[in-house]
Structure 1
Amino acid sequence: MPKLSVIVPCYFNEDNIPVTVRELIANESRFPLGIEFEYVFVDDGSRDQTLQALLTARRQYPDRIQVVELVGNVGSYNAIVAGMAQASGDCMAIITADMQDPPELMVQMYQYWQQGFKLVIGNRQDRQETGLSKRMSQLFHWLMKHMALRNIPDGGFDFVFFDRQVRDEIVRMQERNSNIFYLMVWLGYSYVNIPYVRRKREIGKSRWTLQKKLKLFIDSLLSFSFSPIRAISVVGLLLGVTALLYGVYVIGLRVFAPQGPAGWTTLMVVVLFVSAFQMIALGIIGEYVWRGMDAARSRPLYVVKQVYDASNHSEK
């Protein structure tokens, strides 16, 4: 029977860990007999008691739970790559530590994997959350679907089940400043999409700040779309045509109405508009250049401080 590795990134989740572990272990009974389970929890530089809670859980289930302690906070997606690199399963799943995604859905995902699908996506058909956070998430995924990757499911996703072959490709690529879930779709494997309603968070407070959400949107858009650069070209062309027409108008005004108004206000508006566009264009180009430089430096996505596995204190 195959081995299933469940990767769980953790950041300030000390109160979630006991509940998360309990639900994941209980979920094993829903799978066919004989499957081997492995849980890879990655502590992404938490400064609370998350690591201690994970080590306590590992002492309860030493044959199932591995804990990867990173030196510092590198972001959820890089922490996931660290967990993927450590995982040894034939198939793998990624789930958040706050249990907003239903672990029982992994059973259906596993069945699709057995049918030969390399990637199974659980996408958020709806969310129990309300307010601005829900609206921003919907807008983010709508923009990504229409501007970058048209083959991603509606509603967004970060709950996936995939084959070891997909894992090998993601770990090999070491993509930085990107979206690891969109990267799985970008690889081109046929996938199955399972819609579900995401639960409201019951324990703890989300550390997914507005700043992090904006960075994720910029990273995702620039990683999978040339739309920003194309938009600069289109707007530049339109401004060029407008400038030409305005030049013809000014010349005509000079020839046929030499005593007409000087047009200082109009001139200032045009100068300010063009200057603003140039600064925005430079900013977008700078984002691309910085990402190219960041990739060229080849710095590691993460640094592992210690791995707590079957040997208890194996350092890697």
Structure 2
Amino acid sequence: MSPRQRLCIVVPAFNEAQALPALQARIAAVLDTLDLDGRVLYVDDGSRDDTWQVMTALAEADPRVSAIRLSRNFGKELALTAGLDHADADAVVVLDADGQDPPELIPAFVAKWREGFDVVYGTRLARDGESWLKKLTAAAFYRVMARLSSTPVPRDTGDFRLLSRRALDALGKLRERHRFMKGLFAWVGFRQCAIPYHRQARLAGRSKFSYWRLWNFALEGITSFSTVPLRVATYVGLLTSLLAFAFGVWIVLKTLLWGDPVAGYPSLMVVILFLGGIQLMALGILGEYLGRLYDEAKQRPLYLVDEWRPARTD
């Protein structure tokens, strides 16, 4: 007889002590219905509350649960990377710790995987418990990414997905420091399909992503998978130079034809401030990409593990 297929559910968490017990109960109920060897791997991303104590308690209560504690808070993308690196299974499901993505959808993911798909991702039809501004900015971000990136990142899709073993191995070869996981999931390619679902409100606690962090996350995604901002800066600089040259020619001709009664101060300041603003914007864009090259050149580890609690064998 062939060995049972193995499935690992990776759950990165930061200050989610209140949500994890209810989430684990739902995951356990789903694993009980699947005809495979299911496991759960929690990753504590340097939480400051009782998240690690809750994870160890869950591991004590259920032999299918293991947990990793990182040495500090590295951010969700790197915590997720740590979980994927330690997942030893034929397929892996990525699940947020807040309970907004339903574990009850995992059997549908597994069914698609068994049909031959390497990446099965959930596409959000609705997003409960989020403000209209967050929904609007999220929708705008995915549409901007679709315009700027040559890698087709699925719209309205988070990290909730299943990866086959070969997709996971391919992802493991990508070791860049600035990680936009939604883009990396799409970049590896292979056969992919979407399953639409209704995203629920959080089980407990509050979101760790403020609008400022979401803005920086959007910059991370755009600069990781597109050089269009650099090209735009080049075109804006070229257009500005042409306009400045044309304006200079006009000033010379006007002076030769009608003389120059010494033009006013306001127009001069407008031109100076406009050109200065364009230059600073271009320097800022260059700085974003240069900073990423600096981080890559240092070649530091993506994360450090403080404690590893493997699943029990009983």
Tell me the TM-score normalized by structure 2.
0.94
Q: Which residue of 1 aligns with 2:184?
A: 183
Q: Which residue of 2 aligns with 1:102?
A: 102
Shift of 1:52: 0.5
Runs of 4+ in 1 over 3 A off after TM superposition: none
Q: Which residue of 2 aligns with 1:111?
A: 111
Shift of 1:164: 1.5
In structure 1, distance between residues paired with 2:71 and 2:79: 11
Equivalent position amino acid for 2:112 in 1: Y
Q: Percent identity?
A: 32
Farther off after superposition, 79-88 or 140-149: 140-149
Q: Which residue of 2 aligns with 1:51?
A: 52
Q: Which residue of 1 aligns with 2:7?
A: 4
SS at match of 2:29: helix
Contact 1:70–1:305 (8 Å) recurs in 2 = yes
Q: Which residue of 2 aligns with 1:27?
A: 30
Root mean square deviation of aligned Cα: 1.5
SS at match of 2:215: helix
Shift of 1:39: 0.6
Shift of 1:161: 0.4
The 3 A distance-change label for structure 1 pair 156 and 311 is: closer
Q: Which residue of 1 aligns with 2:76?
A: 76
In structure 1, distance between residues paired with 2:144 and 2:116: 31
In structure 1, distance between residues paired with 2:255 and 2:157: 57
Contact 1:30–1:104 (8 Å) recurs in 2 = no
1:179-222 deviations in whole A, cap 9, x for unaligned? 11211101222310111121111311111122221121111000
In structure 2, distance between residues paired with 1:37 and 1:311: 13
Matches within 5 A, 1:167-316: 167-310=168-311
SS at match of 1:161: strand
SS at match of 1:121: strand
In structure 2, distance between residues paired with 1:310 and 1:95: 18
In structure 2, distance between residues paired with 1:233 and 1:271: 19
In structure 2, distance between residues paired with 1:167 and 1:150: 18
In structure 1, distance between residues paired with 2:227 and 2:260: 48
Shift of 1:285: 0.3
Contact 1:253–1:260 (8 Å) recurs in 2 = no
Farther off after superposition, 67-76 or 122-131: 122-131
Contact 1:138–1:156 (8 Å) recurs in 2 = no
In structure 1, distance between residues paired with 2:131 and 2:272: 43
Shift of 1:310: 3.8
Equivalent position amino acid for 2:21 in 1: P
Matches within 5 A, 1:109-188: 109-128=109-128, 129-149=130-150, 151-188=152-189
Contact 1:125–1:154 (8 Å) recurs in 2 = no
In structure 1, distance between residues paired with 2:224 and 2:217: 10
Equivalent position amino acid for 1:122 in 2: G
SS at match of 1:232: helix
In structure 2, distance between residues paired with 1:278 and 1:130: 36
Segments of structure 2 that go 5 or more residues without pairing to the other structure are: none
Segments of structure 1 that go 5 or more residues without pairing to the other structure are: none
Aligned pairs, number: 309
1:239-266 deviations in whole A, cap 9, x for unaligned? 0110111011101111011144424322
Contact 2:151–2:183 (8 Å) recurs in 1 = no
